[in-house]
Structure 1
């Protein structure tokens, strides 16, 4: 779909001549040497081929990045000819995609006169979330989470990770109840599940769900994993463990929410989120069935705000309306030869 849309835009709307596309690194080099294109467009999984390409034919490269590069990445990759990137094509946002591509073409060091060469764009993945929201709760938590989720806007460009102290056999029924309250997809976390925007992931009872980094081409992205490390609290899922991993994944884009519950689970996780520039909200005493967990976070000084449940939902929705920051990824240069 992306390659077809780019070809149509370049050839039929902008008058460029799209000469060919490649299905492999060898074909990429052969075609570039044959056609000497004025521009190459490729996806991030073709980055390891760029050294060979530039040796055969040096030209500007426009990157189709399925996940938005972090600040400074393009400065580093400029040695391969990359001067800018195209953000992912979202369903229903074709007009915005066309405008963005036109802007990137106009910013080229040398505007194409003759030909444009498009690489396969074969590995297209869902966009990384703009932010991560981790909700932790214990006693009275299922009802509080249900009320919170019901008030969320559809199409939320964030990922919600929910950890409630529940026995494993209650997880499936809890997920079904949440799904009836929201159009957002509700999933139970499984190992290897990718973190994508606009979804709710529930930590299964009895397991300590965390986020783990994985390599996807040259990019580092995040997916669901499970920790076997000892947990200071006897409760599983551990809110502390999940929040600490979210803080590493999202830094300032992480929002931690501690709802009703008994004990202190979540206090350590809230500290980790605050240490990396994220925000923490604790449920107010008058709206919490049990104030022990949010109260512990407040007394430790880790809460940015103390709010009743309905106002917490408003904060999540407001964050979703903010301009998109850089996605939760990083570039590992060692993977690119």
Structure 2
């Protein structure tokens, strides 16, 4: 890749094309090489100069964005950022796009889109920079810093550190699997959960994802897995054969009531610039499950979850990190390994067996 990130914008709205082009061209290190009203025009341009990142709408004339995304991932895998209006049908299409290999989502309203995009400029730029670092080949095989960043809070802002009732417990049959992931995680989670048996321990999951997408994501996984998969609700029990996914825009923590585990779904500030945060979930598992939990950290940008996994490790929980060879982005696992938080490093295809092995 050249020094500049080369970006192609594909959207049937002239307003969106112009607004996104202007915000990206203001950024050092980003070069917009073209903007097209539909994928057919885009492909013609891209044959002359191929982009590093594509910003792509879903609903367009002549060829829809989902078809174009699948074509790109089959013929020449390239990181794609979906920029799509939110509607019930649109959300379903966006989940399909994530499954097909899209790296990130920018949600846009059907009205007031120009002002929305201008207000969300930092999010758009960050999505493009994140996508440029992603390994699109690995995404396909499975189907700089933003301006004025928010303060990077730790899990202390939600839950204090320290040992809880779970950390000193003897090992019991009531086990918990905690999984944290981000960029590339939608496909990684599908690969893991579809290979786990219905009798496996209860699972709690944080996948960095916007509001309104996690419920749709959980429904999709539920249709594919032997496990029951659903978006978590406050007070849900964590039981064998069930996987609970933290809702977008909320933090999720493990709690213990007697012999039972439940989840708490709460508001709170961004932790490591995320809500939900993997660190928050992992800390709660260290505190209330201790050696009765298993921690798994998979593909993702940044370091969210690394410190929480170290706390789980120190509390006696077996811990697993996805190997660099299968990660779309090796940020989160790499940082966890650096901190000494990881017992075993396993390629994605080996994670289901690794989880079940430590639960025997």
What is the TM-score of this pair, normalised by structure 1?
A: 0.54
Determine the C-alpha separation between the residues in 2 that align with 1:181 and 1:316: 19
Alignment partner of 1:293 out of 319, 323, 332: 332
Which residue matches 2:275? 236
Q: Hey, what does 1:222 align to over in structure 2?
A: 261
Partner of 1:240, secondary structure, is helix
Q: Conserved in 2, the CA contact under 8 Å of 1:132 and 1:161? A: yes
Instruction: Determine if contact 1:129/1:197 at 8 Å carries over to the other structure.
Output: no
Instruction: Tell which structure's C-alpha radius of gyration is larger.
Output: 1
Write the mapping of 1:312-331 to structure 2, written as runs, cut at 5 A: 312-320=351-359, 322=360
Cα displacement (A) at 1:275 = 1.4
Q: Residues of 2 paired with 1:172 and 1:222: CA distance?
A: 22
Matched, 1:133 2:177: yes
Q: Residues 226-269 of structure 1, C-alpha deviation per residue, up to 9 Å, x if partnerless?
A: 34454431111110000111122221121111110001000111
Write out per-residue CA displacement over residues 254-303 of structure 1, whole angstroms, 9 at most, x where no aligned residue.
11111100010001110110111001111111100000111110111111
The answer to whether the Cα contact below 8 Å between 1:243 and 1:256 also exists between their aligned partners in 2 is yes
Task: Trace 1:114-263 onto structure 2 (pairs within 5 A).
Answer: 130-156=174-200, 158-214=201-257, 219=258, 221-263=260-302
- Structure 2: gaps of 5 or more residues: 1-168
Partner of 2:319 in structure 1?
A: 280
Tell me, in whole angstroms, the C-alpha distance in 1 between the residues paired with 2:184 and 2:349.
16
Q: Deviations over 1:59-86 (max 9, x none)?
A: xxxxxxxxxxx76xxxxxxxxxxxxxxx
The 8 Å contact of residues 137 and 260 in structure 1, kept in 2 or not, is answered as: yes
Please state whether the residue corresponding to 1:196 is helix, strand or coil: coil
What is the distance in 1 between the residues matched to 2:330 and 2:223? Answer: 28
- CA drift of 1:172 comes to 1.6
SS in 1 for 2:262: strand
Larger mean Cα displacement after TM superposition, 161-170 or 222-231: 222-231
The 5 Å alignment of 1:75-86 reads none
Alignment length (residue pairs)? 191
